[in-house]
Amino acid sequence: MLRREFLAVRNTLTADDVRESALALAGHALELPELAHAHTVAAYVSVGTEPGTLALLDALRARGARVLLPALLPDNDLDWGAYAGEGSLARVQHGGRMALFEPTGARLGPDAVTEADVVLLPGLAADARGMRLGRGGGSYDRVLARLEHAGARPALVVLLYDTEVVARVPAEPHDRPVHAVVTPSGVRRFDHP
């Protein structure tokens, strides 16, 4: 129910709203020290009215960062490929679900994400504890579990709209808090042990 409410608000956004928000979001994200010093960033390509990521992806590449993008596997896990510009993306329809933009180059395997210094996570909301509400497919739960199992400790950053930072979202025992939320109006950091 909560997911539907956030998606309903996103569906009221115009293309101009999404474009303007994407530029502001990229500006704030690029000020993060974690991204300024990152050699490898695992990210994603936004679709529809999600907070836009292409400007950020291109800026990260221009800085010399290696950007990894996910490719959805049949079991909802994620494989990864390198981003080489907007022309290196293909629109992939996954059954009756939404179409995603995925890298067309070589697949690097699900464990490639463990090389990332920063992981940019999609989400629908985050709360004052830094807990993230995803779409419910479990793909990023697997990514976070893989990072933990590998002993990898990248900075976890979720990209949202301002109205999606709320007092509390439901959390499961396996959920991990993010280190920062970036919105079009700024950055909110969370301290975790």
Q: Label the pairing between strands 132-133 and 125-127.
A: antiparallel
129 annotated ligand binder:
no
134 annotated ligand binder:
yes
Q: What number of residues does the chain have?
A: 193
Helix (H) or strand (E) segment spanning residue 125: strand 125-127
133 annotated ligand binder:
yes
CB atoms within 10 A of CB 133: 22
C-alpha closest to that of 104 among 73, 82, 75:
82
137 annotated ligand binder:
yes
45 annotated ligand binder:
yes
Q: 80: which 2 tokens?
A: 């990864």
CB atoms within 10 A of CB 88: 15
What's the N-to-C CA distance of the chain in angstroms? 31
User: Amino acid letter at 126?
Assistant: A
Distances (CA, A) of 92 to 48, 95, 107, 135: 14, 9, 15, 18
109 annotated ligand binder:
no
30 annotated ligand binder:
no
- Give the separation between CA 124 and CA 165, rounded to whole angstroms: 9
Which residues are annotated as part of the binding site for substrate?
45, 50
Which residues are annotated as part of the binding site for ATP?
132-140
Which residues are annotated as part of the binding site?
45, 50, 132-140
